[in-house]
Amino acid sequence: MKSFAKDYRNWIRLGIKVIILIVILWIIFGVLIGFKRVEGVSMSRRVEDGDLVLFSRTDKTYHPDDVVLFERDNKTYISSILALPGDLVTLDEVGRLYVNGALVSDTIVYDYEQGEKPTISFPFRVPENGYFLLNANLEDVDDSRSFGAIFESAMKGKIVSILRTRSI
């Protein structure tokens, strides 16, 4: 009979340890960090279709060039922060973007010669709690050029690391 009681206590201890481990893993992967498989080519050259990204759910201090996950219309997107709340985003006559009067890059985001036109009005003042996001792949316009500002409430997190898994 003593053997049964001892085995029973050992099973209870094991069960408690397993429950504690599950709670710890849920806190780590459900609250602190997350994994997401990238779908699409919006950030090509930096993050490719099929890559697995690790993102921080808790770091809400965003800076220009941070790559973030955000949700819009029940779909998750990945993009890079171009401008912060209060910044003024403008276009020149060639189609290049400026933030607060400083040229972002020589890359033309709207090719006026090809008939491209912005879908939002410029100059664009980024609203409070909003961010202007721009894809690395400028042909994919699923970013602030078509959506306008993305608000902090839509941000799922900041990319911490990229795990290359697309060839597996």
Q: Which residues pair with 83 in a beta bridge?
A: 132
Is residue 82 within 8 A of residue 96, CB to CB? The reply is no
pLDDT at site 113: 61
Give the tokens for residue 85.
């709340």
Nearest Cα neighbor of 34 from 145, 160, 141 is 160
Residue 44: predicted pLDDT: 56
CA 19/CA 159 separation, integer angstroms: 29
Ordered mean pLDDT values, 10 residues apiece, the chain (168 residues)? 74 89 81 71 61 79 88 83 92 85 80 68 91 80 83 87 64
Task: Please report the DSSP string for 33-46 in residue order.
Answer: EEEEE--SSTTTTT
pLDDT at 48 (0 to 100): 58
The reported pLDDT for the residue numbered 85 is 94
CA–CA gap between residue 80 and residue 132 (Å, rounded) = 9
The count of residues in the chain is 168
- Render the burial of 50-88: b for 16+ CB within 10 Å, e for the rest: ebbbebbbeeeebeeebbbbbeeeeeebbbbbbbebebe
Q: What is the pTM of this model?
A: 0.73
